[in-house]
Structure 1
Amino acid sequence: METLSDVQVKDITGTSFSLSWTQPAVDRSSSFEYKVTLKSTNNLDIAERSFFCETTTLETGEVSCQVDDVYTDVGYSVSLTACATANLCAAPSEPIIIKPAMKDGYTLHPPTIESRFITVSWSSSQAKPGNEFRVLVNSSVVETCAPEVTVGEHSCQISGLLPTQKYNVKIVECQKGTHVCGDLCSFLVQTTTDGRLHSMLTDLAKDIDHPTTAPSDPSSQLMIRVAYSTLGVPAVGNLKAVSAVITPVAMGNPPEGPNWSSVSSNPAESSKVLQMVGGVSEGQSFVLQLRGEMF
């Protein structure tokens, strides 16, 4: 089996490209498959990827293979291997270096990344009144992000994410009211950790005095409330419980007597109707109740 020597890359877009090569003479009477291998040259977070591609014979006699779902502005080393079986393959072709880019007229800006949300922004130099942008996260459309294609800056905040997780984000341009869309760009992001939040809470906890003796009135309970709006944090993500101060609350004798349970796994309760929002504005105040077992 001979190594493919005339592999070419064509039709590069922001999220795809095609490969073409001359069909080997032996392939015309034998059943061959072709394996594409992609390796990022500038982003270690993107794993190497290999797959057998579906081929098409062109009018020129060449064989073509479409490669989709690559990331925009990421360099790739691309090689192609001819295989008679899954375990019997020729040596891979010489690597070809490519870098998919957003098409002319559009510019992708670096995203703003937090632990619970990301903000995607881009600009357009053209207007298309019948078209709209859509943002997809892991192939699911973000319903709140569908601005009309106009000249200028555009942005989309994607909320409801988990800390330290990787997400595939794609921006597409679609005809309004249809599923006729074209990809503009695709990229991988990883949300940050909640470490900053945990650090602040730990510092607050250090200010709490832990008595070494039982309280004189064991029927008393504590409601713990911590106000994030006073911590100088402009945005902390999608939180339902965002504040707390230590406040003694006399609620009568608990049914079990002097029993302080460990931290509850129940969702935090708020003093007002809550909505999931990206970021916390100063002045918002919600209650988080904790219990602990008394020594």
Structure 2
Amino acid sequence: MKPPDGLVVTFKAVAFREGTNRKSCTMFNENNELKCYITKLQPNSVYTVALEACKNEDDCVAYGDSVRIQTRPGAPGYSTLESSASDSLTMSIKPPTDATERDYVYAGTFETSLYTNVFGGGCEMKQLAANSVCQTDLAVPDTYYYFRTFACTLEHMLCTEGPQKSARTKAPGVKLPKPEWVGQTSTNISWTKELSTFHNIRYVFVYAKDYYGYTQQCFSTTRDKCRLKNLRPDTYYTITTSACKNLGFCIASTDSITIRTKKPDYLTTPTNVSVRSLTLTTVNLTWTELQVEDINVRDSIEYMVSLKAINDPKIPDKRVFFSAYPAPIDGNYLVENLYTDVNYSITVSVCASDDVCSYSSKPVTVRTVAKDGYIFKATSIEPLTASVSWHCSKSNPDSELRVLLNSSPTAVCTSADSVGEHTCQVTGLLPSSSNSVKLTRCEKATDACEDLYNLYVRTASGGM
């Protein structure tokens, strides 16, 4: 292409059609060819395209003959998976924004990752609604497919492909919900059948496999459930299935669930419960420990220590669990965060789960005693705040006193460890809530602390 009359010019390509503005682009050299790209044209429209030679932006003349072209249709919208079975897929197909009923024909095709269209199928339709779908019943189970969509003009069959969407058919066989009941050594497993390339499922086998690879199984030919037996208590099992058209044609499902059998319930009451030591907020207990040789059983055993405030019904009962194996080397079990100056009745039980426990041991009664020289009490209790005070009969300039709320390490109040009356306003409480308000003494040099008193405070109702 040479400039006219030897002038130095640039070339433009111009596209126009009746009733619209001209669209143009400036041509550039690529591999000894002049080219450019005209964008933002209307889909499915006829344009006249011509070349112009320009000395400058406003001084252009026609150069050569013009041609007529037709643009392709707009691309279909994004597809979504509507449903999936083992041998079928249903996908939505969305029309392009410029579509009209008489202009376009639409196609959808299901192809494997190799784009062979084998066992895929597809659809064709001339009208699309907002909820139009394309379905195939030729798919292979447990296989990924690409769903490709096309919009084509009826007159010239010019086509534009929309964005691809991948979808996967379900594995054939059965689907496992969570079991309704799991016991110590057995469980009932039910399932729902998935339609597949073999619709007549005669046998369903269910397998339970534990961490060590030991497997139990059950099967059914008539009902959609069976019972697994001979399982170990307190053990995790992976449950899988295999569905069979006959005993020579079975397909293992990729669907699986995990269950845990209940803890054992053959439990004996602890004996010889006694107190080793007692402080104003802790009690150290010991008892005759349970002897169980079966490691699969004993690892699930727990001791439950129950504490009840005898003379103060406002204080809630306290329960603390200790693992039975491994047992403490010294045989002592420490219960902490008790309230001070309270009489407690203590019993011990052996438990295999929260609701499976032995009878309680004979009760042991203790009383937590306040430290000499300190009196700690609540002077007023509101729904959102509480005021506490204490009296010190001794002074220690090397330490300070801190008030802690609900075992938080951050002090609500801090004061000097000096003789006299001290007060603290505790805020940030909730109405009708149980709270632990603790008075501690801490060394300034080392920040080592000891408990002086633990007070139970229940806030009043209302206030929100």
Whether contact under 8 Å (2:398, 2:445) holds in the other structure is: no
CA distance, structure 1, for counterparts of residue 353 and residue 461 of structure 2: 44
State the secondary structure of the residue aligned to 1:101.
coil
Whether contact under 8 Å (1:134, 1:171) holds in the other structure is: yes
CA distance, structure 2, for counterparts of residue 80 and residue 194 of structure 1: 37
Query: TM-score of the superposition, structure 2-length normalised?
Result: 0.37
Amino acid at match of 1:11: S
With over 3 angstroms needed to count, the CA separation of the structure-2 counterparts of 1:145 and 1:23, relative to structure 1, is same
With over 3 angstroms needed to count, the CA separation of the structure-2 counterparts of 1:116 and 1:29, relative to structure 1, is closer
State the secondary structure of the residue aligned to 2:271.
coil
Please state which structure has a larger fraction of its residues in helix. Answer: 1
- The aligned length equals 191
Whether contact under 8 Å (1:115, 1:161) holds in the other structure is: yes
Amino acid at match of 2:371: K
Matching of residue 15 in structure 1 with residue 281 in structure 2: yes
Cα offset, 1:130, TM superposition: 1.5
Cα offset, 1:158, TM superposition: 1.8
Please state which structure has a larger fraction of its residues in strand. Answer: 2
Which of 329, 343, 355 pairs up with 1:57?
Answer: 329
Whether contact under 8 Å (1:75, 1:100) holds in the other structure is: yes
Whether contact under 8 Å (2:304, 2:348) holds in the other structure is: yes
Amino acid at match of 2:417: V
State the secondary structure of the residue aligned to 1:146.
strand
- Matches for 1:255-274 after TM superposition, within 5 Å: none
Cα offset, 1:14, TM superposition: 1.8
Matching of residue 78 in structure 1 with residue 346 in structure 2: yes
Higher relative contact order (CA 8 A, sep 6+): 1
Q: 1:175-228: CA deviations, max 9, x gaps?
A: 226542112222221233468xx9xxxxxxxxxxxxxxxxxxxxxxxxxxxxxx
Which of 372, 385, 400 pairs up with 1:104?
Answer: 372
Who is 1:122 aligned against?
A: 390
Runs of 5+ consecutive residues of structure 1 not aligned to the other structure: 199-295
Cα offset, 1:174, TM superposition: 1.1
With over 3 angstroms needed to count, the CA separation of the structure-2 counterparts of 1:97 and 1:114, relative to structure 1, is same
- Matches for 1:1-295 after TM superposition, within 5 Å: 2-24=268-290, 26=291, 31=298, 32-53=301-322, 55-58=327-330, 63-83=331-351, 89-140=357-408, 143=411, 145-176=413-444, 178-193=446-461
CA distance, structure 2, for counterparts of residue 28 and residue 126 of structure 1: 55
With over 3 angstroms needed to count, the CA separation of the structure-2 counterparts of 1:38 and 1:144, relative to structure 1, is closer
Of structures 1 and 2, the larger Rg is shown by 2
Q: 1:12-60: CA deviations, max 9, x gaps?
A: 2221111012345x258863532111122223333323231255232xx
Whether contact under 8 Å (1:15, 1:70) holds in the other structure is: yes
**Percent of residue pairs identical:** 36
Whether contact under 8 Å (1:53, 1:67) holds in the other structure is: no
CA distance, structure 1, for counterparts of residue 348 and residue 358 of structure 2: 10
Runs of 5+ consecutive residues of structure 2 not aligned to the other structure: 1-266
Q: CA RMSD in A?
A: 3.0
Amino acid at match of 2:387: T
With over 3 angstroms needed to count, the CA separation of the structure-2 counterparts of 1:162 and 1:90, relative to structure 1, is closer
